[in-house]
A and B are shown apart, each in its own frame.
Chain A
Amino acid sequence: MSADTGEKLVYMVNQIARNLTHESNPADVIARHVITFWSPRMKTTFLDWVAAHGLAGLEPAAQAAHTLLAGAGADAA
């Protein structure tokens, strides 16, 4: 896994978050979007990148979504 790919995925999560801010439960919807459309490799790359670099690069709603994804991480991977 390269840093590049991780950064791209963080960018993607943030972009998804910005487009879903008007949902009543954005964190859920973002997490569901990632689970539905991303391959396991993309999910683990994303989680690994955040584990290494922290949450600072994520939009607030994306941070909350990350928490949900990390919780589900065991079975998503």
Chain B
Amino acid sequence: MGYERQADFGTPEVKSDITVTVNIDGRAVSVPAGTTVMRAAALSGGSIPKLCASDNLKQFGSCRLCLVEIDGMRGTPASCTTPVAEGMQVHTQTPGLQKLRKGVMELYISDHPLDCLTCSANNDCELQDQAAAVGLRDVRYGYAGENHLGEQADTSNPYFDFDPSKCIACSRCVRACDEVQGTFALTIEGRGFASKVSAGAASDSFLSSECVSCGACVQACPTATLQEKAVKEIGKPERAVVTTCAYCGVGCTFRAEMRGEQLVRMVPWKDGKANRGHSCVKGRFAWGYAQHQERVLSPMIRERIDQPWREVSWDEALAYTASELKRIATKYGRNALGGITSSRCTNEETFLVQKLVRAGFGNNNVDTCARVCHSPTGYGLKTTFGTSAGTQDFDSVEDSDVMLVIGANPTDGHPVFASRMKRRLRKGAKLIVIDPRRTDLVRSPHLEADFHLPLRPGTNVAVLSAMAHVIVTEGLVDEAFVRERCDWDEFSHWAEFVSQERNSPEFLEPVTGVPAADLRGAARLFATGGNGAIYYGLGVTEHSQGSSTVMAIANLAMATGNIGRRGVGVNPLRGQNNVQGACDMGSFPHELSGYRHVSDAGARALFEAEWGVAIDPEPGLRIPNMLDAATDGEFKAIYIQGEDILQSDPDTKHVSAGLAAMECVIVHDLFLNETAHYAHVFLPGSTFLEKNGTFTNAERRIQPVRKVMEPLNGPKGNGLEDWQVTQELARAMGLDWNYTHPREIMDEIARLTPSFAGVSFARLDAEGSLQWPVTNAAPNGSPIMHIDGFVRGKGKFVVTDYVPTDERTGPRFPLLLTTGRILSQYNVGAQTRRTANSVWHSEDLLEVHPQDAENRGLKSGDRARLASRAGETTLRVTVTDRVAPGVVYTTFHHPATQANVVTTDFSDWATNCPEYKVTAVQITPSNGPSEWQEGYEALAQRARRIETQEAAE
């Protein structure tokens, strides 16, 4: 694809059952009733000059450039605000209109610097285009306009500049911030040509304002006023490739705009069904890590982890690795080997890693980092509904009347979807937030949650039981739905259980800390408020009762009839970009792709026929069990693709002891991550910009990832995409793999996985994306699931009794620590820390309630020692009433924090998903890093040494 701007139809799409036919410049065009004349003209292939209109913003009608003549109508109405009517005759180009438009344009240009040739937006500027479109040749007012010229540019944002001298006051930026992003950071003051855009208060810059750097205003600006710094530096892009963001589970579609081999910018793509043209700071701007100097580009090996790394060729690295794996298998048996797949890599790459383990290593010791985040989702939803996935597409939120958000912080974790939620909430939907912390969604400009239930960490199940109690005992159950769709006996058993007095909000109030009256109000609102949709995140799953909480959520949705249509459903918000895909691809030790148990002989037979090997019918080891087995001397080698288990898994000491006991740790990643301190082989990875494949987002949407540049991890043109590295390793071990492109891997996945039967790269290219299941029955995919009945047959109610975690507060550890993430950083931060995003978050902070801080003599900015029974670390404190007394909160984006030195090894009863969200801790003032932090820093320095080549004489 060459480079041209994506078509802009001027005003948003309108949905209507009525079609209206109008005539524009002699061309008949039929559009939904309510469509504007401007949009109709654009749809008919024409284009009316415009400046203040854009099809992702509500029409505004301020620039007066889009005037038209309509037969039978007086004057010259603005086409962007005039709706079509049946039989309308529109003229978009007449001598009169031309004159009017020229006049308007002259006014704009007289107030605009005429440095087009040296302007960074030259040839990519709507103002320029429109001046050309109206045929402007002369400016009668002279160029002495003085309203904006010569003003100081605001360059405080690390990614884009604001140069007010070029502003034409169209207010598209302000409206984009309000309507698309929902942050309301920008204002426009004054009227007409004297008006002025500013971020926050007059004294604010973009950086100090409320701006979250989503880029929507930059996207909306028709001039060079708001523009990416990279365009200034590199120049206008010359080619472009549509691809998918590699950060979070929203899965935004972007267009990577390139100049040569250089990425100039990532622009959100309006046809992306997950993001509909919006973006957040990570996907839009934080891709600089791909070129970061710390990226390792050469394979490296060492025999022992106390040696420095030695850079070697791909051939040597792969031959060494294969021989080590074979040696270990011979000496300790095949069960001493295992692998970990990554939720950051593509479906095809994940599929190959698990294939290498099952077919090459000959066991099922494969697990994934999804273990530590969403494994309870898989278990809970499969048990209750029959499918390990969310039930809706993101568009569904447009029809929700009540949103219940539990254990999720979408404005930080899933920002683009949060913007879509906020848009619906501003239109009147109701909101219930269940979270120990007052998240941004609870209170933000023009929004306030109807209920915020600030529960004690670890009491999710109790709160949901109490909600169920209210719904059942007050007769709010959707009995018709339950009778038709669910197993009635199981429902009755459940209803009888939740009705017990010990599940009432009043009885549970001392446990949950949630006022009973609020809880009753929230339950009534959810059951009676119309379409109810539940969105949840890691605050649900990362608990000792994570699976129970997911099932309690499913119970609630079934009892209120909120499943199987638009606007409702149970929606897990996935952390990493391909968590859903990693789970789908058979990354768990007990399941083949498509969630079929390894003991299922029929499923195994398919794989055995395709792969020509026997599949072990017994489940393999999960990550924590691999580490246990390693400490016991029975597990010796691990291949870890794109995951940093030392930093992301709980109880760091347990992880490091396990890794240290292995003889061959293979890390396949972009950077020497924390896990690599214990590695013997480092295989350099490729970024999402350097490979082809697919990611599957939280809506089960399979989306193409397209290569825009050559992998850097090899001599030009000989770098390897991650799937190629796995293939080469398999070949070095003697497996006969010959994939030439990821499309062939997807074809194999489709042959072996019923829910992917209709998926292929060709279909994905044609459709843009597909939501599984894609089958004969649903050839175009399945935006919404369980429409006519549950996948498992009858919906299953499961009694979920509240079992308090064994992690309890006491005199030594009186506070509860819970963890989360923030907008500008991503997961363990390996990528975002290596971008300018660090200006927003340079270290992890510990949020402490004023009362707890005062009792300990701590104030914001002080360093505190944070200790649990597992370990201790230090970090800086910020005092805030966002957290309740007795609760402290931090993020885990920086390795120096070592927050997981503090978390314990308690985990979900069903899946062993670690209990990150509840740890009993004590905090005390401290004046320096903990011993562990210091010792670790020293270890990290030593472990990262790379042998320097002898200089040639």
Q: Which residues of A contact B (CB under 8 A)?
A: 1-2, 4-5, 8, 12, 15-16, 18-19, 21-24, 33, 36-42, 76
Contacts and interface: CB of A to CB of B under 8 A. Distances in A.
Report the 3 A-B pairs with minimum CB-CB distance, sorted nearest first: A22-B799, A15-B909, A19-B909
B631 A21 contact: no
Interface residues of B, number: 31
B909 A18 contact: yes
Contacts of A21: 801
A41 B801 contact: no
A42 B589 CA distance: 13
B497 A42 contact: no
Contacts of A39: 364-365, 589, 618-621, 625
Interface string B451-495: 000000000000000000000000000000000000000000100
Contacts of A23: 799
A15 B547 CA distance: 12
A37 B619 contact: yes
A13 to B, nearest CB: 10
Contact of A16 (B599, B631, B909): B909
Contacts of B335: 41
Interface of B: 335, 364-365, 493, 497, 544-545, 547-548, 589-590, 597, 599, 618-621, 625, 628-629, 631-632, 634, 799-801, 803, 909-912
Contact of A40 (B618, B631, B801): B618
B803 A18 contact: yes
A19 B620 contact: no
Given A8-B628, A22-B497, A41 B634 contact: yes
Nearest to A2: B632
A36 B591 CA distance: 10
Contacts of B589: 39
Contacts of B629: 5, 41
Contacts of B545: 19
Given A2-B632, A5-B632, A36-B597, A19 B619 contact: no
30 contacts: A1-B632, A1-B634, A4-B628, A4-B631, A5-B628, A5-B631, A12-B909, A12-B912, A16-B910, A19-B548, A22-B497, A22-B799, A22-B801, A23-B799, A24-B493, A33-B910, A37-B590, A37-B619, A37-B910, A38-B619, A39-B618, A39-B619, A39-B621, A39-B625, A40-B618, A41-B625, A41-B629, A41-B634, A42-B621, A76-B618
Contact of A19 (B590, B628, B801, B912): B801
A36 B618 contact: no
Give the dominant DSSP class at A's interface: helix
Contacts of A4: 628, 631
A18 B802 CA distance: 10
Nearest to B598: A36
A26 B802 CA distance: 16
Given A37-B590, A41-B335, A15 B618 contact: no
Contacts of A42: 621, 625
Given A2-B631, A41-B629, A36 B619 contact: yes
Nearest to B803: A18
B800 to A, nearest CB: 8
A36 B625 CA distance: 15
Nearest to B547: A19
A4 B628 CA distance: 9
A4 B633 CA distance: 13
Given A36-B590, A37-B590, A38-B619, A19 B634 contact: no
Contacts of A2: 631-632
Nearest to A76: B618
Contacts of A15: 544, 803, 909
A14 B93 CA distance: 79
A31 B71 CA distance: 79
A19 B365 CA distance: 26
A56 B648 CA distance: 36
Contacts of A33: 910
Given A12-B912, A22-B493, A22-B497, 13 more contacts: A5-B628, A5-B631, A15-B803, A18-B909, A19-B547, A22-B799, A23-B799, A24-B493, A33-B910, A36-B597, A39-B620, A41-B335, A41-B625
A19 B621 CA distance: 22
Contacts of B620: 39
Nearest to A17: B909
